[in-house]
Amino acid sequence: MGTNSNENSAQSPVSRRRFVKAVGAASGVTGLAGCLGGGSGDKPEKADSDQTVVRQYAGVGSNESPAVKDQLREALWNAGLSEDIYVEIVDGPSTTDQLLSQYRTWLSAGREEPDIFTMDSGWTIPFIQRGQVQSLEELLDSSTVSTVKNDFFEASVASASAPDGTLYGVPEFPDFPTIQYRKDLVEDAGYDTDGWQTEPMSWQRFAEITADVKAQNDIKYGYTFQADSYGGLACCDFNEWMTTWGGAYFGGSENLFGPVNERPVTVNKKGAVDAIKMVRSFIHGTDDKHGMDIPGNIAPAATLGWTEETSRKPFTNGNAVMHRNWPYAIAISGAEDALGDKLGVMPLPYGVKESEAEYNGTGGTASALGGWNSVVNPNSQKKDAVVEVLKAKMSKEFTLWQFETLGFLPPKPEVFNSDEARNVDVMGRYMDALQTAGSNAIPRPVTTAWPDQSGAIASAVNKALQKGSGESPQQAMDKLAGKLTEIEEQSV
């Protein structure tokens, strides 16, 4: 996630906690108030003297019951892990910035424990580039490495790999946004939603439908999303709009992770500029001189100050037609005491088709990648046992347990197709849409330069979307391109 604390609310530490709370409430699971770390201060039960203890640092902490840790161990044993190996979940700090700082300190100091680190997919790569985590291709057999590369979501694997493709982490679970919508209102307005979970529509069609349904129902908002000046705008919302219009920060997908200062800066090209024009029309209407010819006035100006929760609440409360958010919001809005089966879910729309896009990996639908990876401490003295833990975590049985019990999305597309996943309450209804989003996920362009670039992007894009901005979208993106180039030069 970089070190920009404003990015926290856009990605997994926050959405992970809310997702678990929501799924726990919807499914009757108790004691799941957060992610795997945390607790009331109670220590995990001790391992037997003849067991090998593998310690995993679980990430951002919360108030979770130690009982969940016991359930996790049981799930790993049920997935084939030898009962001679005892996985101890080590509580993490309360924020992702503290977590990132802790990892840097421990790995720089050469500590032998924890044996496994749970790392945000948004900042695994800098640790790889600094040579601070264990290459799994030196640790796992070739068959297991191939399984990760071939059977897990491609974007998640990329977030845990070096630029040359060397694998350094196993995706633990992914996170990617969708468009959540009022299926009942859309269908009552005369639209057939069959196929919407797997067949992305154009932004033009999306805007037409949203404007029509909003008008027919006299509903307050058409489309709610996140456009505050924070990291989530840079990594996610704008990245998605730009990518779906065929634009990119640094040219094609081959340049996502560098090399810094040796890749083109392309944020001022047509795709990115068109994204700004589109969203300006959504907010300010078709008469906006810096907009485009697309139905407008479907999003409130307030969205320029909204993040995940401020944009979700109006939708969950029945005051919006369409909403962009992470999976945790599906679990909340789709619960029976909220929208229930009135909720529909579909992948994000596109501006241009892939065949029409200028850069590789752009065009068509796109969803920003979030989630977490399991990486290995290169100084661990228990690597044989660590290998067995990783293999158990990769199993269908364990990933299903995480989804059913904790609400964490399975990291393998094949699990999305399973009957077990589709039978999970609330989330199971939307597996096709989630799989489509996951298959089209885009990582952030994470390098050592990204923390500074993220803040510059968020500020520039938020300003460019404001009604009173004195610059055209092209001028705003030209200025941003210059800033990104400057940061690239200073980062080498």
Report pLDDT for 45. Answer: 59
Report pLDDT for 122. Answer: 86
Pick the closest to residue 384 from 2, 94, 52 (CA basis). 52
Number of C-beta neighbours around residue 219 at 10 A? 16
Pinpoint the alpha helices (H) of 307-449.
308-316, 327-333, 383-394, 396-401, 413-416, 419-422, 431-439
d(CA 240, CA 8): 18
Report pLDDT for 63. Answer: 41
Report pLDDT for 43. Answer: 41
Give yes or no for a contact between 6 and 312, defined as CB atoms under 8 angstroms apart. no
Pinpoint the alpha helices (H) of 294-377.
308-316, 327-333
* DSSP letter (8 states) at residue 161: B
Q: What are 185-226's pLDDT values in tens digits?
A: 999 999 999 999 999 999 999 999 999 999 999 899 999 999
Residue ranges in the chain modelled with pLDDT below 50? 1-44, 61-63
| DSSP structure string for 183-250 | HHHHHHTT---TTTTTSPPBHHHHHHHHHHHHHHHT-SEEEE---SSSHHIIIIIHHHHHHHTT--SS
Q: What tokens appear for 26 in the block?
A: 């919807």
Q: What are 238-251's pLDDT values in tens digits?
A: 999 999 999 999 99
pTM: 0.86
Give yes or no for a contact between 315 and 226, defined as CB atoms under 8 angstroms apart. no
Report pLDDT for 73. Answer: 93
Pick the closest to residue 69 from 103, 96, 32 (CA basis). 32
| DSSP structure string for 104-144 | HHHHHHT----SEEEEETTSHHHHHHTT-S--GGGTS-HHH
